[in-house]
Amino acid sequence: MDKEFHYNITGIIAKRAWFTDEEALIIAHASQLVDDNDTLRTIHDEDSDTEYEVYISQTMDILKPKHKLMRIYPIFHFLPGDPTAPSARRSDGKMHILTTTPGNNLARESIKAAVEDKSAYRLHRLGVATHAFVDTWAHQNFVGWYDGINGQSMNMLPNIGHADFIHHPDWVGHCWDDSRIINSQVNNNHRFLDAAKCLFQEFSLCSKIENSDALWPALQKDLQDAMGPVFSGEKLQGMEARTKAYNKLFKLPEYDPHAWFDSAVETDVKGLPDEYVPPLTIFKDSCKWKKNWQNSDWYLFQEAVKAHQAFCKDKLAHLFEQMKVNLSDH
C-alpha cells in the first residue's frame, strides 16, 4: 500500500477507534514512515560520546545481500502467512513458505505485541506493526525475497516482492490483473476495505470499544465513498479527490517524511544529503542528537522498528532456518 492507506486511512481508522487526535497522528505517521525509513545513519550523542545506529525498514536497493533483504522485506512488508490459503491458489500449483496472506497469524500477533508493549514507544510500534499488518492484503501472494513465484512471464524486472507488477498492488482506487493466481482480477478497494475492517477491529480491541461491530458499517461507508470508483491502466488516478475526502473524515497535517528526524537530529550535510545518493555516498553526513532526544518521536520510532524486527525475527526463525538464512547478526 502507499501513503493513502498507510497515512490517511490509518489515521481515520485510529480516530474512529477512539484514539485521540495526537495518538492517531503518531500511529499514522509511524505507519507511513516505515516506507520512508531507508537511510542508514549513525547519530552521535555528545553527552555520552556514543553512537546510535539507525535501523532501516525499507530499501530501494533490491540487490542487497540476501540476509539484509530478509531482515527488511518479510518483516516489514511481506509477513509470511499460510501458503495453502484459498486466496493463494495459483494456476501453476506452486507454493512458497514465505507467501504473504491477508491478516495472517504473524500479522495479528505483531499487532497484539505492540498493543501489549508498555514502553514509551508503544504507539510508534503499533504504527510499525499496522504497516506490516495491512500490507498483507496489498502484498498477498508475493514473497519478500527473490523468487520466480513473484514474477509474470516476459517481464525482465527482478522477481522480488511485487516488482514485476510495479505499483499496481499498492494503489487505492485501482483494479489490475494478477495473472499468477486463479482469481486473477483484483479490485484493490475490495482488498483494502477488508484490511480496514480488520484493522478497525484490532484498534478497537486496543482502545476497548465494546460495540465495534456496530460502528463498522458507518466507517465502511465513509471509507468506501472516500475511495471512490476504481480505475485500470498504468497510472494512478483520482488521488487528489480522494485526499480531499480523507481530510473531511479526519484532517491530518500534510505528511513530511523528514519531520521527526529533523526535530530530533542536527545534521551537517556533506555535499548532497545521504538520503539522495545512497548507496554510493562518499562523504557521509554528520548527525548528532539534539537535546531531549530520548523523548523524540524519531528515537521512539527507531526503537519501535527494532522491537518489531526482533519480535518477527524470533517468530520466523524456523522458516529462515529452513532457507539457511542466518539473521543473528543483522
Please give the Cα distance from 149 to 159 (Å, whole number): 8
Give residue 277's pLDDT: 47
Q: Which residues lie below 8 Å from residue 272, measured CB to CB, with a gap of 6+?
A: none
Sign of CA dihedral 136, 137, 140, 145: negative
Give residue 273's pLDDT: 58
Q: What are phi and psi of 100, to 5 degrees?
A: -80, 130
Per-residue pLDDT tens digits for 225-250: 999 999 999 999 999 999 999 999 99
Cα first-last separation, the chain: 26
Q: Is the pTM of this model over 0.85?
A: yes
Give residue 67's pLDDT: 54
DSSP letter, residue 158: -
pLDDT-flagged residues of the chain (< 50): 156, 276-277, 329-330
Give residue 231's pLDDT: 96
Give residue 268's pLDDT: 86
Give residue 18's pLDDT: 94
Per-residue pLDDT tens digits for 147-195: 888 887 655 455 777 778 889 999 999 999 998 888 889 999 999 999 9
Please give the Cα distance from 203 to 207 (Å, whole number): 6
Three-state DSSP string of 86-121:
HHHCECCCCCCCCCECCCCHHHHHHHHHHHHCCCCC
Sort 118 into a burial class: Cβ within 10 Å, 0-12 / 13-18 / 19+: exposed
Give residue 330's pLDDT: 46
SS3 for 212? Answer: helix
- For residue 44, list its beta bridge partners: 51, 288
- Length of the chain measured in residues: 330
Give residue 71's pLDDT: 84
Q: Give Cα separations from 66 to 45, 108, 144, 145, 184 (angstroms).
A: 32, 26, 11, 8, 30
Q: The cell 491502466 sits on which residue?
A: 233
Query: Of 88, 237, 106, nearest to 114 (Cα)?
Result: 106
Give residue 183's pLDDT: 87
Q: Give Cα separations from 319 to 73, 74, 81, 142, 188 (angstroms).
A: 14, 11, 11, 16, 29
Give residue 33's pLDDT: 98
